[in-house]
Amino acid sequence: MGKFEIKSTSAGQTMFNLKAGNGQVILTSESYTTRAACDNGVESVRKNSQDDGRFDRKTAKDGSPYFNLKASNGQIIGKSEMYNSDAAMENGIESVKKNAPEAKVDDNS
């Protein structure tokens, strides 16, 4: 089962990674100024990850595919790693869809 791992940044803010059951990071959040905002971000990922239209599939300058997960207002709530193929990126999206709704929260902040 996946988990949201919350941690503090060097700038004193809070952020999270969504990790798959194997421990691999599949989505990384922005930095939040408050823990409450970070918690809202986790809930937004849970909700928006179930709508395929919220995944913005992109290509980096070097040609690597990646994706952003967006909220209903268009704000990016999470970013993926860079993948070596479109198929690997699609697997990453499916992993977010599968893991996010039931992922526990592990607070390391």
User: What pTM, to 2 d.p., does this model score?
Assistant: 0.93
Q: Which domain range does residue 47 map to? A: 3-108
The predicted model gives 44-65 an average pLDDT of 97
Confidence of residue 10 (pLDDT cuts 50, 70, 90): confident
Confidence of residue 80 (pLDDT cuts 50, 70, 90): very high
pLDDT value of residue 89: 97
Candidates 85, 88, 79, 80; CA nearest to 63 is 85
E strands present in the chain: 3-8, 14-19, 25-28, 55-59, 65-70, 76-79, 104-108
Total structural domains within the chain: 1
pLDDT digits (tens, 9 = 90+) for 17-27: 999 999 999 99
User: What CA–CA distance (Å, rounded) separates 109 from 99?
Assistant: 21
CATH number for the domain spanning 42: value is 2.30.29.80
